[in-house]
């Protein structure tokens, strides 16, 4: 380990890239603590502490939402825009063709950046109005001019983070957007540990041991599932061109168990947050029936059992949905057939496509169950240990482990490239 660290430090360009990434993450954390003018921060934090659904959104905003900072939305609008274009590529044939070419993918990236701006404006407007529903005043001034300026400031913060994330990605030290989310999650760890130490007592000692054991098992499980894959054997037939023979090799087609990553959890969070957010706006309606319905919806989603079951089912369903979006067995089977490849014992074409569809359906079951359990793990830990101050954030843990693995792989690939250059 120390030899690799020394090797990284000796490589001047790699050292500069790592220092740049660290500096960018520090800048992000500084911006996350600069609040928008005219915000009562104490009332804001009290509002967030009493709302677990907003706490989920705050995770992906890197904690900036609970401070009402200038980067309070984080990179959430950019992620939303990316998901929208991925779904549109399934519906619009032209976008699907563009996504298969390098130049087309660059155009889609430009469209994604442009779509991020109106989405950020809409999310900023919705969040400001949602916070305005609090019983304790959070925003001291709600004039039209103040609202417009606040929306522009928040949108500019999101665009800046999007640009910063792309600069990090260009350095080839991990994915920039993922690293920004990672930094936001890690930044909340010291305050969580501090809160645990303040509230710690001897009665919680056994709970803490149980918590540490489950945390270690969870990390191991995340690593195993994140790296696990099913290798399907593929044989390429021999072909003769002129006086030379090509092909005749055996290889494998890797299919990951967790094809969807954390996208199903993001989808599920968006869906499960939507009804209570709409209900918050309906609380000030003039009709008593609408107000009663809004209160019933809010109370329903605050119920731990209903919230946990709904979250589990949504993550499970979205895992299958997103896997179907990104994995195309027919296209893979056609590509294998074009290049003279086939799965032993399976006919090329339709039968290969059906075989791959069957395989992905079975292994996705394991991935969907894993993601669903990870999503509701905080609720299970609360019930098992009774600890309210320190709970495993399954989603956060999944993101952290995935980002660390990806970053390590990219750094190692750059070191390996330098070894080849030396040869």
Query: What tens digit of pLDDT does each residue of 313-353 get?
Result: 988 998 888 888 778 888 888 888 887 788 888 888 888 88
Which residue, of 187, 214, 229, is where some domain finishes?
Answer: 187
pLDDT at 163: 92
Q: How far is CA 224 from CA 28, 165, 320, in A?
A: 31, 28, 20
Check residue 243 and give its pLDDT.
57
Domain shared by 51 and 165, yes or no: yes
Is 1 a member of any domain?
no
91 and 225 in a common domain: no
Task: Answer yes or no: do 180 and 287 share one domain.
Answer: no
% pLDDT > 70, the chain: 79
Query: What pLDDT shows up at residue 394?
Result: 65
Q: Could you tell me the pTM of the whole model?
A: 0.76
194 domain residue, yes or no: no
From 187, 221, 240, the end of a domain falls on 187
Whether pLDDT at 301 is above 50: yes
Mean pLDDT estimate for the chain: 78
Which of the four pLDDT bands, split at 50, 70 and 90, describes residue 391? very low
Please indicate, yes or no, whether residues 86 and 213 belong to a single structural domain of this protein.
no
Residue 64, pLDDT above cutoff 90 = no
User: Is the same domain home to 170 and 231?
Assistant: no
Residue 192 lies in a domain: no
Do 42 and 130 belong to one domain? yes
Number of domains in the chain: 2
Residue 131 pLDDT exceeds 80:
no
Q: Are residues 272 and 163 in the same domain?
A: no
Give CA angle at 249 (246, 254), nearest 5°: 130
Q: Is residue 358 part of a domain?
A: yes
Q: Which of 181-185, 186-190, 213-217, 245-249 has the lowest mean pLDDT?
A: 245-249
Can you give the pLDDT at residue 193?
A: 66
Asked if 167 and 211 sit in the same domain, the reply is no
Q: Which domain holds residue 390?
A: 201-423
Asked whether residue 126 carries a pLDDT value surpassing 90, the answer given is: no
Q: State whether 19 and 119 are in the same domain.
A: yes
In CATH, what number is assigned to the domain containing residue 266?
Answer: 1.10.3370.10
Specify whether 386 is located in the same domain as 257: yes
Q: Specify if 219 maps to a domain.
A: yes
| pLDDT greater than 50 at residue 310 | yes
Mean pLDDT of 123-139: 72
Looking at the DSSP bridge assignments, the partners of residue 241 are 244
CA distance 296 to 302: 10
pLDDT at 56: 59
Confidence of residue 23 (pLDDT cuts 50, 70, 90): very high
The answer as to whether 410 is a domain residue is: yes
The pLDDT of residue 230 = 87
Pick from 82-96, 149-163, 306-320, 409-423: least confident: 409-423
Q: Which residue has the higher pLDDT, 157 or 57?
A: 157
Regarding whether 137 and 278 lie in a shared domain, the answer is no
Asked if residue 8 is part of any domain, the answer here is no
Tell me: pLDDT of 62 over 70.
no
Q: Is residue 195 part of a domain?
A: no
Instruction: Select from 137, 158, 187 the last residue of a domain.
Output: 187
The answer on 226 and 170 residing in a single domain is: no
């Amino acid at each position: 380990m120390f030899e690799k660290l020394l090797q990284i430090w000796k490589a001047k360009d790699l050292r500069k890239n790592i220092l740049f990434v660290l500096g960018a993450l520090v800048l992000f954390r500084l911006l996350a603590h600069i609040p928008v003018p005219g915000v009562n921060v104490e009332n804001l934090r009290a509002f967030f502490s009493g709302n677990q659904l907003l706490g989920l959104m705050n995770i992906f905003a890197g904690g900036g939402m609970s401070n009402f900072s200038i980067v309070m939305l984080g990179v959430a609008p950019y992620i939303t825009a990316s998901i929208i274009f991925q779904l549109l590529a399934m519906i619009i044939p032209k976008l699907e063709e563009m996504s298969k070419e390098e130049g087309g993918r660059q155009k889609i990236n430009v469209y994604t950046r442009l779509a991020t701006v109106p989405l950020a404006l809409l999310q900023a407007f919705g969040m400001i109005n949602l916070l305005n529903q609090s019983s304790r005043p959070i925003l001291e001034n709600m004039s039209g001019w103040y609202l417009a300026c606040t929306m522009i400031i928040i949108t500019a913060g999101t665009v800046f983070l999007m640009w910063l994330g792309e600069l990090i990605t260009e350095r080839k030290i991990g994915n920039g957007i993922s690293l920004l989310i990672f930094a936001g999650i890690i930044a909340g760890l010291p305050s969580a540990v501090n809160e645990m130490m303040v509230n710690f007592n001897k009665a919680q000692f056994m709970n803490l041991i149980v918590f540490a054991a489950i945390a270690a098992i969870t990390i191991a499980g995340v690593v195993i599932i994140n790296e696990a894959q099913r290798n399907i054997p593929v044989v390429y037939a021999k072909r003769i061109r002129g006086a030379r023979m090509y092909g005749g090799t055996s290889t494998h087609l890797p299919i990951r168990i967790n094809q969807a990553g954390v996208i199903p959890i993001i989808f599920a969070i968006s869906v499960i947050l939507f009804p209570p957010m709409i209900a918050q706006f309906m609380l000030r309606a003039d009709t008593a029936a609408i107000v009663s319905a809004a209160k019933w919806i809010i109370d329903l989603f605050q119920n731990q059992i209903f919230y946990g079951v709904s979250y589990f089912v949504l993550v499970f369903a979205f895992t299958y949905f997103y896997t179907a979006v990104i994995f195309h067995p027919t296209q893979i089977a056609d590509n294998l057939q074009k290049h003279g490849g086939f799965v032993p014992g399976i006919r090329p074409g339709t039968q290969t496509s059906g075989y791959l569809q069957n395989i992905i359906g079975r292994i996705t079951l394991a991935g969907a169950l894993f993601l669903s359990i990870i999503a509701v793990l905080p609720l299970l830990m609360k019930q098992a240990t009774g600890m309210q101050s320190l709970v495993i954030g399954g989603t956060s843990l999944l993101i952290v482990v995935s980002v660390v693995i990806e970053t390590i792989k990219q750094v190692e690939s750059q070191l390996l490239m330098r070894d080849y250059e030396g040869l």
